[in-house]
Amino acid sequence: MHRAVALLAWLPAVAAADPTNRNLIPFGERAAMLGNAGITSPYGEAVFYNPANLERVGHPNLSVTGSTYLIYQLAVDPIFVLEGEDQPFEASGFVAIPSTVVSTYRVGKLALANAILVPEALTFKNRVSFATPTSKVTILQELEQSELWIGGGAALSVADGLSLGLSVFVAHTTESKVNFTRVESMGVFEQTTSTDVSVFGASAIAGIQYQRGGFGLGARLHSPTVRLRGHGDVYQSRLSTMMPGGADEAQLEDVEVDRPLPFDAGIGLSLQATPALLVVADFNLQLPATLTTVDDPRTDRVEGKLQAAPRGSLGLEWELATHKWLRAGATFNRSASAHPQSDADPSHEDYIGGSLGFAWQSGRTQTALGAFYLHGLIETYVQGVDPPRRADASARLFGGLFTVSYRL
């Protein structure tokens, strides 16, 4: 029974752009179709990738990344062993993720941008049952998680071909989780856990860009988030027919919580290899950190250690004809979690993937359509076996991309 209840803590992190797999989902006006290679991008998405490039936008612009239609599939075989029998686990779902609204304009020598960003919006619902001749386990899991960033950026040309930029954002992160487990084995045991979290935080992104003809070199520094306000509500109940008085419940309100992000740095390169072919590449590194997510005297302190996590992107933009571009990208996103050594450790998820899109301009409007695929290589251990052994686990994420920008 205890191994089944332990599954409550193993809610899959598919598609989560949290510190363990930062900036995983394709994001941005053009970078989304270039494998998230955006540090040298002269588009409105620069407010996030590298605000120094707002200086290169060159004209007032309004860009909207409509939706990322995401389908995810997760498989773990087995996830745990119940009474000597392997129990596989599968989950899948569909999510529509709004992404960005960015307006750029100039005031004097400054290039400015206002932005509303939604880098993540995830809904996960799953029901799974495990059965043996003498036991049955049913688990219901629900998760709703989203991020909303509101802020802006400014850039200034400081020399011929050299610009500096700074963006500041206030981020609102919300999470809602419900887990229900029912175990039937010589009686009935039920456990329900519900949590609701709301956190406001602030962060800044500083950037520099050097552009000389068809060659560009950029860098960005993304500060750790500073908690402005955060609270959570927790409810838990247990019911058991296996022993007298086997029912209890607990509730905590306004628990002090946080959803921090570590320091992140990156460099980007762009090269106009031919008049029709642009090559871009980014390398980012999230630095190691110990993050505290719950710090309240009424409950246990919760913190986690993250390792250094590199991310790499490579993109190609080929102008097929006047104002018509083919865009393709590849990406690697390494997990910041340590490699697990037992079933008590969290999973380690590395992702590789690619994206492909087509963009065209008609008058003042540029439109782009594309698709992406991400494959997750998951390391996790089977619950409830001795000696410990790893499970065969993987995740797949794929979907479509749509963006529109209008030159004002």
How far is the C-alpha of 55 from the C-alpha of 154, rounded, in Å? Answer: 8
Given this model, what pLDDT does residue 151 score?
A: 96
Amino acid (1-letter code) at residue 81:
V
Given this model, what pLDDT does residue 301 score?
A: 86
Given this model, what pLDDT does residue 8 score?
A: 39
Per-10-residue mean pLDDT, the chain, length 408: 41 54 88 95 94 92 75 80 76 70 92 89 79 83 88 96 97 91 84 92 97 96 95 88 76 90 97 97 96 85 91 97 97 93 85 96 92 91 80 88 87
Name the β-bridge partners of 271: 215, 279
Six token digits for residue 360? 């065209």
Given this model, what pLDDT does residue 31 score?
A: 94
Cα–Cα–Cα angle for 290, 293, 259, rounded to 5 degrees = 100
Q: Cα dihedral sign for 129, 132, 133, 138?
A: negative
Six token digits for residue 223? 């500060």
Given this model, what pLDDT does residue 249 score?
A: 84
Give the CB-side neighbour count of residue 222, counting CA atoms within 13 A: 23
Most distant CA atoms of the chain, gap in Å: 80
Whether the Cβ atoms of residue 187 and residue 3 lie closer than 8 Å to each other: no
Given this model, what pLDDT does residue 97 score?
A: 67
Peptide bond into 387 cis (omega under 30): yes
Tell whether pTM > 0.85.
Answer: yes
Given this model, what pLDDT does residue 28 score?
A: 87
Given this model, what pLDDT does residue 144 score?
A: 85
CATH number for the domain running over 2-407: 2.40.160.60
- Domain map of the chain by residue range? 2-407
Name the β-bridge partners of 255: 232
How far is the C-alpha of 130 from the C-alpha of 256, rounded, in Å? Answer: 36
Buried b (16+ CB within 10 A) or exposed e, 154-168: bbbbeeeebbbbbbe
Given this model, what pLDDT does residue 353 score?
A: 96
Which SS3 state, helix, strand or coil, does residue 31 take? helix
**Alpha-carbon distance values, 277 to 66, 319, 328 (Å):** 26, 7, 11
